[in-house]
Amino acid sequence: MELRRCYDAATAEVEPPLAIVDMDALRANAANLVSRAAGKPIRVASKSVRCRAILEEVLAMDGFSGIMAFTLPEALWLARHQVSDDILVAYPTADRTALAALAADPHAAATVTVVVDSADHLDLIEKAAGDQRGDHPIRVCLELDAAYHALSGRVRVGARRSPVHAPEQAAALAREIGKRPGLVLAGIMAYESQIAGVGDDPPGRPLRARAIRAIQARSRAELAGRRAAVVRAVREVRPDLEFVNGGGTGSVEKTAAEEAAPRRTASWAWRGDLPRRRLPGLGQRRQDPPAAAVPAGRAVVRRGRGSRRGADSAAGERRRFARRGRPRLVSARQGR
């Protein structure tokens, strides 16, 4: 509560929405991740941080290298501001305007890498680059399906992120990229959401915890072998592969220990861990308290019964609105 009063006093004159970051906590959190990564560079995931100054702060620390961006326009913006010289857009883009801008800008083309998962996608990128294409090829990263397939493929655990699953499929796509002078294969990405993003100790559910751990252990073993085989197969086609990207906050030490570590760097994604967004059951992997403390503030525009409500709270609030009629407006200070 004391801390809350300090935050309130420090931001009394600041217009919301706002966020406060406890920089000591953020640095401790980051250092903890670096020690878990045991020497592998950590790529910061911008979509979880959403603040350029924090990205810059984190990238200045030893152990961090590169950004994982959410969209291509965001990556272009980060490149323009020289936040990093290694920005991976981790979600396949079909934004033709942004692709044309990428192709036309030599600095962005040397800095930004986009993920690809099929020949059709390569066609789209080449077409979008069109006449804008300069001397620099567009850097692409092959996205691998890191989900766990059990019972001869009848059961799938993990996100459906890419159709490329087997080493030979990855090598075929690498060859396809190699045939296109406007593109260059820079890396491989394989994000194991079923391990990195699923808590393995849900409170009060020991049986479920055991089942999750068993599946994750199998998935980890399967993926370690397959990821290494994919890297070998792709390297035969493209020996100068620069990076392999994998893992997340929940799996840093496990992914980092894998053999598939590439020759130059492996970049492991990291999510700034906001206390309220922690996944139950990532307990053993949690940051030491205090974790990066990022309390967010919004203007309070109406009061609910016995509680305060933010300006844009969700469905429940809309239902209450419908029942009670128009809410009374109050100021941010009144609402506290």
Ligand X SMILES: Cc1ncc(COP(=O)(O)O)c(C=O)c1O
Site residues (CB under 6 A) for ligand X?
45, 48, 68, 90, 191, 196-197, 248-250, 269-271
d(CA 319, CA 327): 12
CB of 170 to ligand X, least distance (A): 16
Q: How far is the CB of 193 from ligand X (least distance, A)?
A: 7
For ligand X, the closer CB: 29 or 249: 249
Q: Per DSSP, which regions of the chain are E strands?
A: 18-19, 42-45, 64-69, 87-89, 112-116, 138-143, 148-150, 155-157, 183-190, 243-246, 265-270, 296-297, 300-304, 307-310
88 vs 122, beta carbon nearer ligand X: 88
In degrees, rounded to 5, the angle at the alpha carbon of residue 303 between the alpha carbons of residues 302 and 306 is 170
Burial class (CB in 10 A: 0-12, 13-18, 19+), 314: exposed
331, 308 contact by CB (below 8 A)? no
- Closest CB 46 distance from ligand X, rounded Å: 11
The minimum distance between CB 91 and ligand X, in angstroms, equals 7
Closest-by-Cβ residue to ligand X is 248
- Between 105 and 200, whose beta carbon lies closer to ligand X? 200
**101 Cβ contact list (under 8 Å, min separation 6):** 76, 108, 132
Instruction: For ligand X, give the closer residue by CB, 76 or 144.
Output: 144
Q: Which is nearer to ligand X, 158 or 250 (CB)?
A: 250
Q: What would the two tokens of residue 336 be? A: 């506290």
Q: How far is it, in rounded angstroms, from Cα 219 to Cα 192? A: 9
The residue type of 12 is A
Shorter beta-carbon distance to ligand X: residue 136 or 161: 161
Smallest separation (angstroms) from ligand X to the CB of 87: 14
Nearer to ligand X, 46 or 169 (CB): 46
Question: What is the closest distance, in whole angstroms, from the C-beta atom of residue 283 to ligand X in the complex?
Answer: 15
Place of tokens 């990564």: 37
Q: How far is the CB of 57 from ligand X (least distance, A)?
A: 18
- Asked if 180 and 122 count as a contact pair (C-beta separation under 8 A), the reply is yes
Helices within 2-160 (DSSP H only): 2-10, 23-37, 46-49, 52-59, 72-80, 96-104, 106-111, 119-129
Q: Minimal distance in Å, beta carbon 179 to ligand X?
A: 26
Q: Shortest CA distance to 46 belongs to which of 57, 36, 38?
A: 57
Q: Is the separation of the CB atoms in 146 and 227 below 8 Å? A: yes
The span from the CA of 51 to the CA of 83, in Å, is 11
Task: Considering the complex, state which of residue 136 and residue 254 has its C-beta at the smaller distance from ligand X.
Answer: 254
